Amino acid sequence: MLTESALLLASLFIIAAACGWAFATYYPGHKKEPREQKLSANYSKGLNFLLNQQPDKALEVFLRIAEMDTETVATHFALGNLFRRRGEVDRAIRIHENLLKREELSVEHRAHAVLALGDDFMHAGLLDRAEENFLELRQFELFRETALKRLVSIYELEQEWRRAIETRRELEVGKVAGQTPVIAHYYCELAQLCIDEGKTDKARRRLRRSKQIHKDNPRAMLMRADIARDAKDYSLAIKLYRKLLERDPDFVAEVLPRLLACYEATGAAADLDKALQALARKGQKNRTAIAYAAIMDDILDYPVIKECLREYLAKNEAFREWFAAFQMSSDDIVANPDMLRRVAGILRKTSADGRMYQCNQCGYIGVHLYWKCPSCKKWDTMRPSTSFSIQT
């Protein structure tokens, strides 16, 4: 009995064969050959093998067809892609390698086969071999942008940041938008390697380069401020953290505890209140982030923070219902330091894994601030969360 997947493959193959036939019929310069009947018989034979779940025998039939008639190329591309999508990468590789052995292949088809084979190797995790194919593909003008984008993916996976920078520069020359902000991140990656090796001066230079390329890159600002803090240059760290928050208020929840630590280290913790006032004046989004960070890091004693907490707790319906069960309002909670501390403690427990971060592109939520989203693979899309999920 035929399985669902065999039927699916067979039906996809029929579509692929139809595409191949249509391509063969309408391709410029095509001359109809008397061999079509033989081809048709071979298709039926191959299809039979597929339906009987004998893909290797089917493959042999189709590879022989490829040797006989160049007009079946489109069908072979479709079949190779089908095998790859089904995870049968070895079969896909055989099809595409076989195509590349054919001397009569047109330049465009050769480039297409190099691309398909590179994708097969990527799928199989053979990055070196995939890279070879995409480097070759880069020589074909029509596929140049595709090849460069594939190479960028490989270099990011291998953390070959220098080569990733060079490749994105080539994309930039080709007028492909959006390269600069990512290149700025690559310099941050290089800076991080220096920090890990204790080479702080070199790390600073790379961060400076990152900022030259993209001055609003929050990561470079955050890393530079952290270096100053770790070097106990607290006044510089405070200046840099505040500058970051002016440019990108999304990082309030991330930066606030670091800022407080620096103010405390300089013995000027009271100055934090002034800094917070300036932040809070800039809008509700900032006040929400201040309240969230205050709860997460148990920073509850500043007047500005209490105001932010009053607003944060009052505007959330779930909080209001929760407090009403104890016949209290958010004002009562904030006015009572012990109660406020207990409520903050309970809220922290609802976020057992600590502070959370969310991707503003795909919605991925995680406990680490990834600069490249692990889900949608976009750069600089994750931001600190500012909400708790509570059940009443």
Choice between 330 and 386, CB closer to Zn ion: 386
- The least distance separating Zn ion from the CB of residue 374, rounded to whole angstroms, comes to 8
CA-wise closest residue to 13 among 71, 67, 55: 55
Alpha-carbon distances of 150 from 138, 145, 167, rounded to whole Å? 10, 9, 10
Dihedral of CA 201/206/212/217: which sign?
negative
Amino acid type, 310: R
Choice between 140 and 364, CB closer to Zn ion: 364
- The least distance separating Zn ion from the CB of residue 171, rounded to whole angstroms, comes to 21
- The least distance separating Zn ion from the CB of residue 152, rounded to whole angstroms, comes to 17
Dihedral of CA 59/63/69/74: which sign?
positive
- The least distance separating Zn ion from the CB of residue 250, rounded to whole angstroms, comes to 15
3 state SS of 365: strand
Contact 356, 385 (CB under 8 A): yes
Beta bridge partners of 382: 359
- The least distance separating Zn ion from the CB of residue 298, rounded to whole angstroms, comes to 30
Choice between 7 and 157, CB closer to Zn ion: 157
Choice between 69 and 380, CB closer to Zn ion: 380
Contact 258, 241 (CB under 8 A): yes
**Residue 380 token pair:** 């600089």
Choice between 133 and 381, CB closer to Zn ion: 381
Choice between 244 and 373, CB closer to Zn ion: 373
**CA–CA dist 244, 257 (Å, integer):** 14
- The least distance separating Zn ion from the CB of residue 293, rounded to whole angstroms, comes to 23
Task: List residues near Zn ion by CB under 5 A.
Answer: 359, 361-362, 364, 373, 375-376
Say how many residues make up the chain. 392
Alpha-carbon distances of 363 from 71, 356, 376, rounded to whole Å? 45, 12, 9
